[in-house]
């Protein structure tokens, strides 16, 4: 099992994101936990944590300039060590029923945060991840070197979504969030290896079909 030296978590002000912040701070070898939030002034729970390793970073994943600004801030914080883990957790849920009147904007709003926002964030932060990876010894894979982890929901699995989503209002939420155990997630991340690359897994690192 391995642990990262630094981790940047988007959507870290509440829910699973906030839980992940607290779990990573329990690990002594983690040097920096960067909590990405849209409105730092409203991140009251994060501000109650007294740990010098925690840094709050402003980021709105729907705004390219905000993502770039966050990159600049994170770059200063991690320095030459680079960033070990980018954890895309920011997401929104907009109720959308397939039997309702069509509403393109609701779907686009959901996708803009949960899909496009994560993609642009990944692309922007790649240089810092590559820098961290270059410091790794050998050719092993793991969060102690560099990794991108995307938090999703079982709604994103077509095979497991047998009942559909018309009656749940979650049609536009296929690749978004669900309450999960932050502790289990962090433990599973420490076990990530080459064979897990590109996969879709439960919080217990069990393979989940697409």
Q: pLDDT confidence of 187, banded at 50, 70, 90?
A: low
Q: Which 3 state secondary structure label does DSSP give 3?
A: coil
* Contact (CB, 8 A) for 166 and 153: no
pLDDT at 77 over 60: yes
The DSSP 8-state label assigned to residue 205 in this structure reads S
**Structure tokens, 118:** 């994560």
DSSP letters of 33-61?
Answer: EEEEES-GGG-HHHHT---TTEEEEE--T
pTM of the shown model: 0.77
DSSP annotation of 117: I
CATH code of the domain occupying 6-196: 3.40.50.720
Whether the predicted pLDDT of 127 surpasses 70: yes
Q: What is the pLDDT of residue 208?
A: 67
Question: How many whole angstroms separate alpha carbon 69 and alpha carbon 75?
Answer: 10
| Mean pLDDT score, 13-28 | 92
Query: Where along the chain do its domains lie?
Result: 6-196
Torsion from C-alpha of 137, 142, 148, 150, nearest 10 degrees: 180
- At residue 12, the 3 state secondary structure works out as coil
Q: Are 22 and 49 in contact (CB under 8 A)?
A: yes
| Residue 135 confidence (pLDDT) above 90 | no
pLDDT of 158 > 50? The answer is no
Specify the pLDDT at position 183.
64
Q: What is the predicted pLDDT for the residue at 37? A: 98
The predicted structure's pLDDT at residue 99: 84
- The tokens describing 194, both together, are 């080459």
pLDDT at residue 2, rounded to an integer: 81
């Amino acid at each position: 099992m391995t642990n990262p030296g630094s981790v940047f978590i988007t959507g870290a002000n509440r829910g699973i994101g906030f839980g992940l912040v607290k779990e990573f701070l329990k690990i002594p070898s983690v040097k920096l936990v960067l909590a990405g939030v849209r409105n730092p002034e409203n991140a009251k729970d994060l501000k109650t944590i007294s740990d010098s390793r925690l840094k709050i970073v402003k980021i709105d994943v729907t705004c390219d300039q905000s993502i770039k600004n966050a990159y600049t801030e994170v770059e200063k914080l991690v320095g030459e060590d680079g960033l070990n883990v980018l954890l895309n957790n920011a997401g929104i849920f907009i109720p959308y029923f397939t039997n309702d009147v069509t509403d393109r904007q609701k779907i686009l709003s959901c996708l803009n945060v949960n899909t496009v926002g994560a993609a642009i964030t990944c692309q922007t932060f790649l240089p810092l991840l590559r820098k961290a990876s270059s410091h790794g010894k050998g050719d092993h894979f793991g969060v102690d070197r560099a990794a991108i982890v995307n938090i999703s929901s079982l709604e994103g699995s077509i095979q497991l979504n047998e009942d559909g989503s018309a009656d749940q209002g979650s049609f536009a939420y296929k690749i978004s969030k669900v309450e999960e155990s932050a502790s289990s997630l962090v433990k599973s991340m420490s076990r990530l290896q080459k064979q897990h690359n590109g996969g879709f897994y439960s919080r217990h690192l069990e393979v989940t079909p697409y």
